[in-house]
A and B are shown apart, each in its own frame.
Chain A
């Protein structure tokens, strides 16, 4: 039943914790009884490069890869990154977007410039965009590395998962000393989109 499959694209920059982000969501969906395929790439694709992970869930999922026009949710951990994958989107795609900017090496060395108003560009394509100031939220929490959990919190509004399930997964997946800050990041992420 391919029609019932939902597709999430996680994208951002190597080192932002994209793989953990997609893993927490995958476990939560699995706990709610869904079949899962999660696809990612390791190795040369890390080291500050563009990183993407696909998560597909439904009653039976075969393909680990999503096809053009089939992404339901985009979780952008960096402001311009969702622009890179628009060929996979459709009018129904929702973009949950961290407003944090991380320049590419071309931009940081002054050869290229950062794209102007990525949110506007995405909206101009007819997409629903939900900006989240995840980096600011985390800086306030004193843990800039928890950006990924803020984004999990924001995404959780759109998924058939219980808050308690996600919290259980975070507790199970992370070392105990990181529970407090990551659970707070998750809840703040949820709150950020309720406003």
Chain B
């Protein structure tokens, strides 16, 4: 349990608060695929014994499992990052038609500043698109309350409900007061055959389409009196309509303004908005990213100012809001030039060796999403594309088919094992079926590392850490029909290079599994391989060992700065030994200090 003071207050992140809300709402099944900033929701739920939690293999699978649980009459929740909802969009749109039995909630965690994402899509647009109600909390306490409300709205209106958070709610901690009682679901768990509701044959779908419109019109009425909307009566000069985290920035930047904070952002409470708008002289809409509220408010025929002055890219903050509306800026202190500090692959990371080998082949690298995307940065510079989960393999194949013989041996697709299981397997089936001579590398580091070490099917553990069947990638690939499957150790750079070179020449589809555990896994840390050191007298200062970009190897310049020597920081070195193989002068050796 979390730290409590005498008043039973908790300090929870938005994600932890959503999990607590789901627990208080008696959720029975929770599914997710890890993705920043959503990951901690499911992690927090694994601590409850009476909730079934799973890391699903992707978001579509996650939502379908939840929908099934809901059809069985229990409350279910799926959480995912914004781009994850694209993957789950297929079941989402039709689940709006079928409706639910047990409350069904989908959490979408957006990342407007792209702290850890490939795009900044505004998932509020999914609500009107899929015709599904959406709640948008603004702080952790509200995140908990809204999650509970989402379940009851879902059951009252027979519809899945979206809860939208952003990085600055998901990863912001605030004070949350837990409830002593848990909500009772309205439905009982049971198997009920209801084909007209759940079999979306056109004849049923047309009926459910009408039923959906009826549910939405009841929801519109409900939205007018929804207790999660809030009005601050302030000056009549300036009125602001806002929602989510933007509300916090408004409250700090413009404490004197009148504010309408919307909690249910689809469907919108038109009468409430009209009434608020009529009471203020100038109306502004403050929201991050798209003019989602603004467009709908303008469509109501209400005059307001929004994206003309509020930035539509990146996160907002109080200073941006104040400056846009009042033109006032605080004095800015001078900035100082500092060397950039990009994230790097950890010392001992198995991705380093394989990407170094790939970089020597001079091939086009169709890449994917994971820690290994960092290999695109210097000094490795060994990635040429990264678009979305699983795309590496298909794009590599597309280049092969587009260029024919010209591309043979010049393209390699690289994908992590969790990403491969998420949406890479179908690509291999596609390539076997349609005839490919490509080379694919699967980086199998035994865990979903970038989001913080979630287990996946190759790990052999469930979300709750219980042992389960370990997926055998090699057997899977052979079963699909891949004839050439090779498992290599990426820390052996020479062997990796040799195998890749050979497989690139092969006129057949070939998959290389680069297998070594993440350097941060507890079992790897405990193994404590001895650190390496540079024998200073032997070091010629050729910088060959710097090419792999290991943070444990530091260049120590001599007086004139052109020359220098390498030094290994023993406290950072993980003992992987990749640098030893790079040194032609035998200057890098196992240190006997340890």
Q: Residues of A at under 8 Å CB distance from B?
A: 2, 13-14, 23, 26-27, 30-31, 35-50, 61-65, 67-70, 80-81, 83-84, 86-90, 93, 103-110, 112-115, 121, 125, 144, 169, 172-173
Contact = CB atoms under 8 A, between A and B. Distances in A.
B342 A105 contact: yes
Given A27-B11, A80-B338, A65 B333 contact: no
Contact of A41 (B116, B247, B255, B336): B116
Contact of B344 (A47, A63, A86, A172): A47
B587 to A, nearest CB: 16
A173 B115 CA distance: 27
B181 interface: no
Interface in B318-355: 318-319, 330-336, 338-346
A44 B115 contact: yes
A43 B249 contact: no
A121 B318 CA distance: 28
Given A44-B450, A109-B379, A173-B3, A38 B332 contact: no
Given A2-B255, A30-B175, A110-B557, A121 B336 contact: yes
Lowest 8 CB-CB distances: which A-B pairs, in order?
A43-B36, A43-B116, A49-B343, A110-B555, A47-B343, A44-B116, A67-B319, A62-B248
B319 A68 contact: yes
B360 to A, nearest CB: 17
B174 A63 contact: no
A40 B155 CA distance: 34
Contacts, number: 187
Contact of A36 (B174, B255, B318, B546): B174
A183 to B, nearest CB: 17
A144 B339 CA distance: 25
Given A39-B168, A47-B345, 20 more contacts: A35-B174, A37-B139, A40-B172, A43-B450, A46-B343, A49-B342, A68-B332, A83-B338, A84-B336, A84-B341, A87-B334, A88-B333, A105-B344, A105-B379, A106-B339, A107-B339, A107-B554, A108-B553, A115-B339, A144-B571
Contacts of A67: 317-319, 330
B37 A43 contact: yes
Nearest to B138: A62
Contact of A43 (B3, B248, B451, B553): B451
B333 A87 contact: yes
B175 A36 contact: yes
Interface string B10-46: 0100000000000000000000000011011000000
B506 interface: no
B343 A30 contact: no
B144 to A, nearest CB: 16
Nearest to B174: A37
B349 to A, nearest CB: 9
A2 B254 CA distance: 10
Interface in B439-463: 450-452
B543 interface: yes
B171 interface: yes
Contacts of A86: 333-336
A97 to B, nearest CB: 14
B37 A125 contact: no
Given A47-B374, A62-B252, A110-B546, A37 B172 contact: yes
Interface string B552-591: 0111010001001000000100000000000000000000
Given A26-B173, A43-B36, A110-B546, A14 B338 contact: no
B340 to A, nearest CB: 7
B341 A38 contact: no
Interface residues of B, number: 63
8 contacts: A35-B175, A36-B173, A42-B40, A44-B115, A65-B318, A67-B319, A103-B554, A109-B379
B551 interface: yes
B245 interface: yes
A158 B6 CA distance: 25
B5 interface: yes
A37 B330 contact: no
A49 B139 CA distance: 27
B341 A63 contact: no
B411 to A, nearest CB: 25
A47 B554 contact: no
A108 B5 contact: no
Given A105-B551, A108-B551, A36 B11 contact: yes
Contacts of A113: 339, 557, 561
A13 B115 contact: no
| Residue from B341, B345, B374, B564 with most neighbouring chain A CB atoms (10 Å) | B341
B361 interface: no
A40 B116 CA distance: 12
A31 B36 contact: no
